[in-house]
Structure 1
Amino acid sequence: MRKAIGPGERITQARRRNKLLYLISSLVFGAVLGASFGVLDQRPGNRGFFSFTTMTLDPGIALAMAVLLAFGLIFVPLYMFRKVDELAVQHNLRAMCAGWFAMMGGYPIWQALAAGGWAGQPTALGIFLLGYGVTIVTYLVAKWRT
């Protein structure tokens, strides 16, 4: 016979289900949005991932994609801050702060190295990937340490 669960366990199970639903829906949303860029790019020929910076979109499509990106990269994470516990908020804030510092310090460092011939000129995609990568690594380290 199965023991009845209490209200605290029900809340924990609901929180886990909501988190899983959020992660799966975010993954699907991001994959569809990313694939849409490739499908809607109007340039002929080979369009690999790193050609993202040179793509051409119809102006209406570009505006719609910008709105969807703002929704997925700004508004959904801000909403989720209200739904997670204090420890998760601290991990996220620490990770986002590290990503911000990586971009703010990374750009002038990269530019100085480029001026000296040590690297190519900084790109918007490179700075974005630097910040995003540092954010992910910092978040994983913060989670691992607690």
Structure 2
Amino acid sequence: MTQTPGPGEARTRQRQRRQMIYVGVAALIGGAIGFLTGFFDRGDGSLFTGDWEALSLDPAIAVVVSIAIVAGLLALPLYGFTQVDELKREYNLIAFTGGCLATITGFPVWAVLYAGGFVPAPHAFGVFAIAFVSMMVSYPIARIVR
């Protein structure tokens, strides 16, 4: 005799399936950004290693990649907030706040250390990396502490 899953199990499976689709869409957007940037780059630069001064893209490709970046780094996460439960949403908001605070604090500290001759000059990729890494670190801390 097979048992029919209860409503809670069915809802959990639906949520997990939606989460896998969400991760798949994010991976596709990221892959498209990387492919378009790498394949159509006419220079020797890289969007992700910090030497974007040497990056040279056709204007149409630049617009497409920009739209994909906005979709992947702004629209998709905002949409994701509407799809998760309250607890995960709270953890995500704490992680985003941690990333924002680290960036707001990290840039002036970096600039002062640069002025003192301790580190190289601040650059955009470094500020992005501060935000990204600190969000990734803030999320598990929020889960552990909460």
TM-score with structure 1 setting the length: 0.90
**Residue equivalent to 2:83:** 83
- 8 Å Cα contact 1:98-1:134 kept in structure 2: yes
Structure 1: give runs of 5+ residues left out of the alignment.
none
4+ aligned runs moved over 4 Å, structure 1? 46-49
1:102 shift after superposition: 1.1
Q: Between the two proteins, what is the percent identity of the paired residues?
A: 33
How far, CA to CA, are the matches of 1:111 and 1:85 in structure 2? 39
**Residue equivalent to 1:30:** 30
In angstroms, what is the RMSD of aligned CA positions? 1.8
- 8 Å Cα contact 1:99-1:132 kept in structure 2: yes
1:133 shift after superposition: 0.3
- 8 Å Cα contact 1:53-1:125 kept in structure 2: no
| CA displacement 1:41-60 (0-9 Å, x = unmatched) | 1115x859525522111112
TM-score with structure 2 setting the length: 0.90
* CA distance 1:76–1:49, change in 2 (3 Å): closer
**Residue equivalent to 1:110:** 110
Structure 2: give runs of 5+ residues left out of the alignment.
none
| 1:81 counterpart letter in structure 2 | F
**Residue equivalent to 1:53:** 52
* CA distance 1:92–1:24, change in 2 (3 Å): same
* CA distance 1:36–1:140, change in 2 (3 Å): farther
Number of paired residues? 145
